[in-house]
Amino acid sequence: MKSANFARFKLAAIIIIIIVDILAAISYFKPSKSELLGHIPPDLISEAGNKYSEVYNNYFVFNIARGRDVKTARSATFIGFVGQVIPADEGVASAFSDVFLWLPALLDGAKITILLTITAVLAGLVLSIFLALGKIAKTKIISGFCSAYIFFFRGSPLLMQLFFIYYGLPQINPSLTINNKFMAAFFAFTLNTGAYCAEIIRAAIQSIDKGQFEASRVLGLTYAQTMRLVIIPQSIRRLIPPVANEFIMILKDASLVSIIALADLTHVTRSISSSANNVMVYIPAMIIYLIITAVFSAIFVRLEKRFSLYQ
Amino acid sequence: MSLIRTENIYKNFNEIQVLADVSISVEQGEVICIIGPSGAGKSTFLRSLIQLEKITSGKLYIDEELFLHRENNITQYRIESVKYKSLLLEMGMVFQSFNLFPHKTALENIMMAPINVKNMPKPQAEALGAELLAKVGLAEKADAYPARLSGGQQQRVAIARALAMEPKIMLFDEPTSALDPELVGEVLNVMRGLAESGMTMLVVTHEMGFAREAADRVLFMSDGAITEEGSPELIFSNPNNQRTRQFLNTVLGI
């Protein structure tokens, strides 16, 4: 019970920190009255009745609520802060004004990121069971092959593996072309995370007491039965924390796919940033990453608890 | 007719000789206790009978059939694999460290092998498990996970688990050595009951009281060899061998 409460508390704390961050960012960038009035085109000032709060509300807060329409109609170069005049399009003031506008695109990107991570880690786990059992197998050819595979995919950069699968394979043989960017990324990430998870599973299996193997053998269980009924069920609880770790790593490494122009969260963020000429989009994007990792961390804490019932 | 017979068993771990020319014969219904100082090779001998260790050389007969023959770490003869499996299952083993499956309840621990090795239907395995738990005095602990059981209770479940495969001979590898002193009695009682019911048993133990009272024959091992064997009366009251005398003096505090 305690750890569930703790997880809930952690989640709440993260959300509060995010909200405080947003508020701090907005208030920090709120221009002072003189700054604002000093740089506002005269016709706009008259229109707003020369009142700071009204100008601010009309042209800053209003923009946040309504998005680009108002901004493009009114923006020009009237927002200033910290003694500088910055065109609204580049400036911080417009940053959060567009959050609601960006959000659907960002969430679409987040969907790709999550989907890629979940499918790749699940497929990678299946692959890794065979790799792990292969690596501890007594047959030299099998264990040699699995060791080499793990060595290669853990020892070379994921980005290069991704490049190679997407750009390299078609050049080796046109039949190896993977047109679907998601599929290319899925293959690269599965092959990569499979190698990492294989090491996790191998370590978990080898951490099980030798007596468990001996008891199974003496009772007449075959090797496959021993693994399936005795060793793997006991390993699962020990697997969850490192696999959760790997999952979060892959979630963040998934941003690499933006380089092959798969529209994940990072790619969407980059394109918004360059087309709107606004770097502030990175802040909500990173917040979305934080929320995703927080949610999945909480899920893994739950899973770990469920599998530790008999302890 | 002997259930198990060994001829000239040698076992080396690298350069160290652990077993040197061990030849014994275990008859149906016999209870044999193996005693001796630690490092004498008692456990290794038991483990090489049930093939948890590979012998360096020697012959092993089960049910008067040549089961395995090795010379200098090379297998000369091994019985064909179907027979190998079934003869191996004539032995049940109880470990010093219990080795129960911690993710299964007491009952599930017992049911696992009959269901998966003998393809016994689940209800039948469940009935068998309940019966065996009652036999070791733990009927009410059927649904308890091993972590919730005391050492003595765990070892009794482990005995029931081994019995579930209906072995002809039970091997006990220091079954009480990992237990708190006050828990030793309950395990020994179960073993006594088993001996009285006619089970053939090969027991490596430091419990001299048990050996004296329950054994038909006591083997004294030192430096990998059986240096003395005989009835408990003979070994405990009038040992011939100097090493046996020394050992008994130490453990019995005479």
Q: Tell me the torsion sign for CA atoms B100, B103, B108, B111.
A: negative
Concatenating the DSSP letter of every residue in A65-129 gives: HH-HHHHHHH-TT--EETTEE--TTTSSTTTGGGHHHHHHHHHHHHHHHHHHHHHHHHHHHHHHH
Residues above pLDDT 90, as percent of chain B? 89
- Read off the pLDDT of residues A202-222 as tens digits, 9 standing for 90 and up: 999 999 999 999 999 999 999
Test A219 with B117 for CB contact under 8 angstroms: yes
User: C-alpha A109: how far from its chain's center?
Assistant: 10
- The b/e string for B209-228 (b: 16+ C-beta within 10 A; e otherwise) is ebbbebbebbbbbbebbbbb
Question: Which position has the higher pLDDT, A232 or A33?
Answer: A232
Confidence at A6, pLDDT banded by 50, 70, 90: low
> Quick one: average pLDDT of A244-255?
94
Test A234 with B85 for CB contact under 8 angstroms: no
Confidence at A34, pLDDT banded by 50, 70, 90: low
Test A221 with B93 for CB contact under 8 angstroms: no
Gap between the Cα atoms of A7 and A15, Å rounded: 12
- A203 at interface of B, judged by CB pairs closer than 8 A: no
Q: What is the pLDDT of residue A41?
A: 55
> Quick one: average pLDDT of B25-29?
94
Of A209, A219, A233, the CB nearest to B113: A219
- The nearest CA of chain A is from the CA of B96 a distance in Å of 10
- Read off the pLDDT of residues B200-229 as tens digits, 9 standing for 90 and up: 999 999 999 999 999 999 999 999 999 999
Name the CA dihedral angle for A303, A305, A309, A311, rounded to a multiple of 10 degrees. Answer: 120
In this structure, which amino acid lies at residue B78? R
- Read off the pLDDT of residues B119-172 as tens digits, 9 standing for 90 and up: 999 999 999 999 999 999 999 999 999 999 999 999 999 999 999 999 999 999
| pLDDT of B230 above 50 | yes
ipTM of the complex: 0.92
- The b/e string for A29-56 (b: 16+ C-beta within 10 A; e otherwise) is bebeeebbbebbeeeebeebeeeeeebb
- Three-state SS string over A16-83 comes to HHHHHHHHHHHHHCCCCHHHHHHHCCHHHHHHHCCCHHHHHHHHHHHHHHHCHHHHHHHCCCCCEECC
A110: CB partners within 8 A, 6+ apart: A265, A288, A292
Copy the structure tokens of residue A67.
Answer: 């998005």
Contacts of A233 in chain B (CB under 8 A): 103
Contacts of B99 in chain A (CB under 8 A): 209, 211-212, 214-215
CB B146 within 8 A of CB B102: yes
| pLDDT of A4 above 70 | no
Q: What is the pLDDT of residue A7?
A: 67
Confidence at A71, pLDDT banded by 50, 70, 90: very low
User: According to the CATH classification, is domain A103-310 in 3.40.50.2000?
Assistant: no
Copy the structure tokens of residue A87.
Answer: 């065109």
Of A229, A234, A311, the CB nearest to B116: A229
Of A215, A310, A311, the CB nearest to B99: A215
Test A311 with B147 for CB contact under 8 angstroms: yes
Q: What is the pLDDT of residue A304?
A: 86
* Mean pLDDT, chain B, integer: 93
- The nearest CA of chain A is from the CA of B131 a distance in Å of 18
> Quick one: average pLDDT of A45-60?
46
Gap between the Cα atoms of B130 and A285, Å rounded: 59
- Pick the residue from chain A with its C-alpha nearest to B165: A219
- Read off the pLDDT of residues A77-98 as tens digits, 9 standing for 90 and up: 333 332 333 344 444 444 456 6
In this structure, which amino acid lies at residue A91? G
Element (H, E) at B212: helix B208-214
> Strands B16-22 and B2-13: what pairing?
antiparallel
- The nearest CA of chain A is from the CA of B71 a distance in Å of 23
> How many Cβ atoms from other residues are within 10 Å of residue A130's Cβ?
14
> B2 has which bridge partners?
B27
Q: Where do the structural domains in chain A lie, given as residue ranges?
A: 22-89, 103-310
Element (H, E) at A225: helix A223-225
